[in-house]
Amino acid sequence: MHIYALYGTSGTGKSTSALELAHRLGIDAIIDDGILVYQGRKWAGTSAKYEKTKIQAVKRAIFYYRDHAEEVRQALQQLNVERLLILGTSKRMIQRIVAALHLPTNPEYIPIETIKPLQEIEAAKYIRETQGKHVIPIPRVEVEKDFFQKIISSAQQIFSSKKEVIGETTVVHPPFSGGRIQIHPQVLRKIVQATCARYEAVTQIHKTAYTFHDLPRLHVSLSLQLPFGTAILPLVRSIQQALYNETSYCLNIAPASIDVQVVSLKLQSP
């Protein structure tokens, strides 16, 4: 059996990347947070995300409980898996899983940074920390068999580069994830106002919107007043970069995109 090990700190988006990586490398099965996923379905084990405390979740994820480990070991033997992908927060965690499941001790390690852009990793970590969202690489219907529907927020199909459906992930809110942090719209407006105030050309900010669907995105519409002949595009790009720097610093998250819309433009005669 050839073992692949995808590792990265908690909340970096390993589970959302697992299906696509498995599809690309021809991997038969995935082990993620205590469950064995085979052909896009949960085959054995119990998800650590169902545990009530973080300590119990860690124990479940590393197959600390003998009956849990034995169940997954037997399933792997019955399936005769040739290529297995293990997800973990570190190489040490991967090694604990490998030992608990009596697997080959020389996995091929894959850092999450090598398959996922840094910006997407930062966005995934921010959403995990502020909204408590966790992803399981199995369909929603599979999750509903095991747990209460009230903690399931959504399910999303994963496509290959050829637009073929290769699997589905489900977003859950584990009991141990705690509360949520919300950014008040007024705070965001203040950040945008303070940033745009550095530019004399910005005369009015009409609208500020920040969305967290998939990846965080910022949209700002404003009015400009410029001397005739001023290059507008470099100015807008400068504003975009300033907004990017300021929101990254204040909110600890780099927006996936910043759209600046100039809704009115007044030109001054030289």
Higher pLDDT, 258 or 153: 258
Q: For residue 42, what pLDDT is reported?
A: 79
pLDDT band at residue 95 using 50, 70 and 90 as cut-offs: very high
Domain encompassing residue 205: 185-268
Higher pLDDT, 245 or 154: 245
pLDDT band at residue 128 using 50, 70 and 90 as cut-offs: low
Residue ending a domain, choose from 152, 177, 202: 177
Average confidence score pLDDT of the chain: 78
Residues 90 and 149 in one domain: yes
Q: For residue 72, what pLDDT is reported?
A: 92
Q: For residue 169, what pLDDT is reported?
A: 54
- Predicted confidence (pLDDT) at residue 131 exceeds the cutoff of 70: no
pLDDT band at residue 123 using 50, 70 and 90 as cut-offs: low
Higher pLDDT, 7 or 51: 7
- Predicted confidence (pLDDT) at residue 181 exceeds the cutoff of 90: no
| Residue 26: CATH number of its domain | 3.40.50
pLDDT band at residue 99 using 50, 70 and 90 as cut-offs: very high
CA distance 8 to 206: 40
Higher pLDDT, 2 or 187: 2
Residues 134 and 166 in one domain: yes
| Residue 190: CATH number of its domain | 3.30.70.1350
Residues 164 and 193 in one domain: no
Residue ending a domain, choose from 160, 177, 194: 177
- Predicted confidence (pLDDT) at residue 159 exceeds the cutoff of 50: no
Residue ending a domain, choose from 177, 193, 220: 177
Residues 167 and 202 in one domain: no
Residues 167 and 194 in one domain: no
Give tens-digit pLDDT for 225-253: 888 888 889 999 999 999 988 887 777 66
End-to-end CA gap in the chain: 74
Q: 40-44, 152-156, 214-218, 223-227: which has the minimum mean pLDDT?
A: 152-156
pLDDT band at residue 4 using 50, 70 and 90 as cut-offs: very high
Residues 37 and 146 in one domain: yes
Residues 92 and 160 in one domain: yes
Dump the DSSP string for the chain: -EEEEEE-STTSSHHHHHHHHHHHHT--EEEETTEEEETTEEEEE--GGGSSSHHHHHHHHTT-SHHHHHHHHHHHHHHT-SEEEEEESSHHHHHHHHHHTT--S--EEEEGGGTS-HHHHHHHHHHHHHH--EEESS-HHHHHHHS-GGGEEEEEEEE-TTS-EEEEEEEE--GGG-------HHHHHHHHHHHHTT-TTEEEEEEEEEE-SSS-EEEEEEEEEEETT--HHHHHHHHHHHHHHHHHHHHS---SEEEEEEEEEEEEP-
Give tens-digit pLDDT for 192-232: 889 999 998 999 988 888 876 556 778 899 999 888 888 88
What total number of domains does the chain contain? 2
pLDDT above 70: percentage of residues in the chain: 73
Residues 28 and 147 in one domain: yes
Residues 8 and 40 in one domain: yes
pLDDT band at residue 109 using 50, 70 and 90 as cut-offs: very high
Is pTM, for the whole model, over 0.85?
no
Q: For residue 146, what pLDDT is reported?
A: 54
Residues 163 and 242 in one domain: no
